[in-house]
Amino acid sequence: MDFLLEHFEAAKIQYQEDRYMAPCCNSGWAKLDKYYALTGRTPVYIAAMVLCPAFKWEYFESTWEDVWITRGKVKMQEFWEEKYKSKAIVLPPRANRCSISSGKISIRLGEGRKPVYRQR
């Protein structure tokens, strides 16, 4: 998003005298700025950038002010503690259970079905 905002900023200057392009650049910038402001309401944008191996925190450290970075790190910590820290991992039930005994293979496929036996 920062890249697009910078692009619109440059276009607003470049086309400030163009009666057709200037309003388009201003409208595009305003719309993007609206959505950019919404990213501050949730830590999901920060999480996506931080978890991306290409960016991590270096992206924010090179583009954001120190105060914003501190707030972002606090939001990330709160997000992790609220959504992930204390959550138990629930594994899905196994679809098939196999047992091998005395040359026979028994496969049970859920409740209410009879085991299938096969000879080797």
Here the tokens at position 17 are 């005298």
Interval 70-114: pLDDT, tens: 999 999 899 888 888 877 777 787 766 555 555 555 555 555 555
On the CB side of 81, how many CA atoms lie within 13 Å of its CA? 6
Domain chopping of the chain, boundaries: 2-85
**Torsion of the alpha carbons at 109, 110, 111 and 115, rounded to the nearest 10:** 20
Interval 44-65: pLDDT, tens: 888 888 888 898 999 889 988 8
Sheet strands (E) in 14-110: 97-101, 104-108
pTM: 0.51
